[in-house]
């Protein structure tokens, strides 16, 4: 164990000095649930963390590809964490986001890591916190987190991102469903992608009218974009740069961070499997199990 | 295992690569697919960023002779000698020995069954478990034939 820790320390030192290989290895360790003691970011330079979320198939990855290009032109170093679900049955995952991010493979100033949920949404958000911190410490100025938002899990992105873009597409209207989950209010900007196809305008109007029922001052703007044709992307980036998050969202953020940390504590407990077994056999109750794990 | 599936070079057909990617996923592996027309440098960087254990390369264009040795060399030179490389697509029999000598551990041509590829990966996993090399760096003669 002690040996392992010194090994991690060396990796960390080398990653902080700019080794891409060792940064990548550290991310794997964090993903596996290992504790990596990342020093607090003491410099005044803070990374900008952008969350991209929305239903499957609306073009999030293509849009991320455009954002990478946009920031690259500004001379920024961009890191992307692209999260895809893994099969709960086999644990396997097909991570295909890179296919739609041509700009991702084109240089030393872009780092893209695909992550699977490993059938464990709580787990991934917990390690995400450390991953983002590590990327930030290693000098990645702009960090994008891309997740498939469905139901409750998408709110997690609030815990990590400074700014959130919610993406929807024509003929979906899923976002109106998402309204119930609250993400629509938490977004800084709502983007209706594929603006070149019929139906996009109507979806944008529907979302706008749904938003008009809530407090208008802090409801997000709705913007039509075509990631495929690269129209509206510059405007989107301008809007997101100057958008101001409402204060109440900071509270939600702290709350979500607490929940993530809590999940992390539970899931990384050495007694987790034993507790699950004991609950299964009926020798302890759920509450007992929780007490043991949170001790 | 975490596996990067890549299409190096200029050929424009990836049905095979996609079928394999899907089969590996169903076999419980974590597969990152790169999409078409990646350069050796891009592929090596993707393997690094993803911290993959293995790299599957599919080529149909006949350029394997140039591309594969280049990719294997890049992996070795950038501290990724532990990464296992396997091939699929059209690799003529006469080129197999050369590919193996570059560090490739398996070649799956047309007609290969996906179960066989999964068995190969299982074999590789158990080699990792017993500290035997599977990567492009330390060739101890282990091949999947």
10 Å Cβ neighbour count for B32?
Answer: 29
CATH number, domain of B102, equals 3.40.50.280
Residue among A52, A50, A45 at smallest CA distance from A137: A45
**Maximum average pLDDT range among A61-70, A245-254, B131-140:** A61-70
Contact criterion met (CB below 8 Å) for A162 and A144: no
A218 with A134, same domain: the answer is yes
- Best of A11, A36, A105 to substitute, by most chain B Cβ atoms within 10 angstroms, is A105
The DSSP output letter for A178 is H
| A-chain residues near B45 (CB < 8 A) | 105
Whether residue B140 lies inside any domain: the answer is no
**Which stretch of A96-100, A277-281, B32-36, B71-75 has the lowest confidence by average pLDDT?**
A96-100
Euclidean distance between CA atoms B125 and B134, whole angstroms: 9
Q: What is the pLDDT of residue A121?
A: 44
User: If pLDDT is split at 50, 70 and 90, which confidence band does A41 have?
Assistant: low
- CA-nearest residue of chain A to B40? A105
**What CATH number corresponds to the domain at position A54?**
3.40.50.300
Within this chain, do residues A256 and A241 fall inside the same structural domain, yes or no? Answer: no
Check whether residue A294 and residue A218 sit in a common domain.
no
Tell the residue number behind the tokens 């893994």, with chain if given: A86
Average pLDDT over residues B4-33: 88
Report the residue of chain A nearest B31, measured CA to CA: A94
Q: Report the half-sphere exposure of A252 (CA within 13 A, side-chain side).
A: 16
Q: Domains in chain A: how many in total? A: 3
Q: Residues in chain B whose beta carbon is closer than 8 A to a beta carbon of chain A?
A: 21-22, 24-35, 38, 42, 45-46, 48-51, 78-80
d(CA A176, CA B106): 49
Average pLDDT over residues A149-163: 69
Establish, for the pair of chains A and B, how many residue pairs have beta carbons separated by less than 8 Å.
68
pLDDT bucket at B140, cuts 50 / 70 / 90: confident
Asked if residue B49 lies in contact with residue A24, where contact means CB atoms within 8 angstroms, the answer is yes
A49: left (phi over 0), alpha (psi -120 to 50) or beta: beta
- Is the same domain home to A143 and A217? yes
pLDDT of A122: 47
Is pLDDT at A151 greater than 60 in this prediction? Answer: no
Do A15 and A116 fall into the same domain? no
One domain for residues A88 and A114: yes
Q: What is the mean pLDDT of chain A?
A: 80
User: How many Å is the Cα radius of gyration of chain B?
Assistant: 13
pLDDT band for A80, please (50, 70, 90 cuts). Answer: very high
The better pLDDT of the pair A94, B75 is held by: B75
- Position A103 scores a pLDDT of 67
Residues of A in contact with B29 (CB under 8 A): 92
Q: What is d(CA B112, CA A86) in angstroms, rounded to the nearest whole number?
A: 26
* B79: chain A residues, CB-CB within 8 Å: 21
A94 and B21 in contact by Cβ < 8 A? Answer: yes
pLDDT for res B76: 94
- What is the pLDDT at residue B51? 95
* Same domain for A59 and A6: no
* The total number of structural domains that make up chain B: 1
On whether both A103 and A238 belong to a single domain, the answer is yes
Q: Output the six-digit token pair for B67.
A: 């591309």
From B28, B31, B78, residue closest to A95, measured CB to CB: B31
> Is residue A23 scored above 90 in pLDDT?
yes
> A176 falls in which pLDDT band (50, 70, 90)?
low
Classify residue A218 by burial, with Cβ atoms within 10 Å: 0-12, 13-18, 19+: middle
Q: How many residues comprise chain B?
A: 145
User: Does residue B54 belong to any structural domain of this protein?
Assistant: yes
Whether the pLDDT of residue A155 is over 80: the answer is: no
Mean pLDDT of all residues in B51-75: 92
What does the mean pLDDT of chain B come to? 90
Sign of CA dihedral A237, A241, A242, A243: positive
What φ, ψ does residue A3 adopt, rounded to 5°? -60, -45
| C-alpha to C-alpha distance for A156 and A221, rounded to whole angstroms | 21
Closest-approach residue (CA) in chain A for B20:
A94
Complex ipTM over 0.90: no
Burial class (CB in 10 A: 0-12, 13-18, 19+), A187: buried
**Residue A173: pLDDT band with limits 50, 70, 90:** low
Inter-chain contact A105–B42, Cβ cutoff 8 Å?
yes
Q: CB of A165 within 8 A of CB of A240?
A: yes
Residue B135 contacts by C-beta under 8 Å, 6 or more apart in sequence? Answer: B75, B80, B81, B82, B83, B84, B103
Residue A196 Cα to chain centre, angstroms: 27
Please check whether residue B143 lies inside any domain of the structure: no
For A190-209, the pLDDT digits (tens) are 898 888 888 888 888 888 87
Residue of A nearest to B43 (CA): A105
Express each pLDDT in A207-226 by its tens digit. Answer: 887 777 666 566 788 888 98
Instruction: State CA A135 to chain mean position distance.
Output: 13
pLDDT in tens, B56-67: 999 988 888 999
**Residue B145 belongs to a domain:** no
A47 φ, ψ (degrees, to nearest 5)? -75, 155
The verdict on a CB contact (< 8 Å) between A92 and B24 is yes
pLDDT in tens, A229-243: 888 999 999 999 888
A241 and A253 assigned to the same domain? no
Contacts of A273 (CB under 8 A, 6+ apart): none
> Both A148 and A280 in a single domain?
no
Point out the residue among A86, A87, A95 whose CB comes nearest to the CB of B32: A95
Q: Which residue has the higher pLDDT, A100 or B106?
A: B106
Same domain, A293 and A179: no
Domain boundary among A204, A219, A245: A245
Residues A189 and A228 grouped into a single domain? yes
Domain interval for residue B29 = 2-129
Strands (E), chain A: 48-54, 78-84, 93-95, 110-116, 142-148, 163-168, 189-192, 221-224
Domain boundary among A212, A230, A245: A245
Give the residue numbers spanning the domain of A21: 1-37
Distance CA A116, CA B32 (A): 10
């Amino acid at each position: 164990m002690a040996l392992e820790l010194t090994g991690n320390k060396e990796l960390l030192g080398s990653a902080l000095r700019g080794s891409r290989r060792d940064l990548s290895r550290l991310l794997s360790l964090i993903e596996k649930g290992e504790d990596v003691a990342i020093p607090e970011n003491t410099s005044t330079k803070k990374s900008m963390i952008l969350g991209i979320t929305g239903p499957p198939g609306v073009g999030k990855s293509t849009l991320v590809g455009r954002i990478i290009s946009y920031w690259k032109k500004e001379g920024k170093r961009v890191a992307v964490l692209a999260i895809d679900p893994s099969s709960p049955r086999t644990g396997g995952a097909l991570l295909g986001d890179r296919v739609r991010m041509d700009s991702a493979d084109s240089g030393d100033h872009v780092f893209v890591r695909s992550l699977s949920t490993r059938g464990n949404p709580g787990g991934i958000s917990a390690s995400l916190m450390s991953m983002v911190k590590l990327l930030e410490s290693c000098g990645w100025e702009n960090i994008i987190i891309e997740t498939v938002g469905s139901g409750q899990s998408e709110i997690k992105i609030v815990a990590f991102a400074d700014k959130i873009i919610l993406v929807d597409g024509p003929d979906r209207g899923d976002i109106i469903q998402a309204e119930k989950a609250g993400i629509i209010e938490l977004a800084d900007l709502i983007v209706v992608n594929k603006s070149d196809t019929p139906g996009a305008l109507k979806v944008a109007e529907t979302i706008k009218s749904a938003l008009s029922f809530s407090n208008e001052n802090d409801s997000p703007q709705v913007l039509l974009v075509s990631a495929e044709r690269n129209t509206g992307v510059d405007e989107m980036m301008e809007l997101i740069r100057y958008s101001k998050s409402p204060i109440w969202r900071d509270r939600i953020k702290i709350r979500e961070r607490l929940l993530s940390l809590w999940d992390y504590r539970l899931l990384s407990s050495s007694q987790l499997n034993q507790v699950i077994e004991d609950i299964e056999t009926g020798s302890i109750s759920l509450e007992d199990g929780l007490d043991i794990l949170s001790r | 295992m975490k596996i990067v599936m890549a299409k190096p070079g200029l050929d424009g057909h990836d049905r095979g690569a996609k079928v394999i990617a899907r089969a590996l996923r169903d076999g419980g592996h974590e597969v990152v697919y790169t999409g078409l027309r990646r350069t050796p440098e891009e592929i090596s960087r993707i393997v690094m960023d993803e911290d993959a254990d293995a790299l599957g390369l599919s080529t149909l264009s006949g350029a394997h002779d140039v591309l594969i040795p280049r990719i294997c060399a890049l992996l070795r030179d950038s501290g990724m000698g532990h990464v296992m490389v396997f091939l699929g697509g059209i690799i003529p029999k006469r080129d197999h020995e050369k590919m193996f000598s570059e560090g490739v551990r398996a070649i799956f041509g047309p007609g290969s069954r996906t179960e066989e590829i999964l068995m190969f990966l299982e074999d590789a996993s158990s080699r990792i478990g017993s500290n035997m090399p599977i990567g492009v760096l330390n060739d101890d003669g282990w091949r999947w034939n």
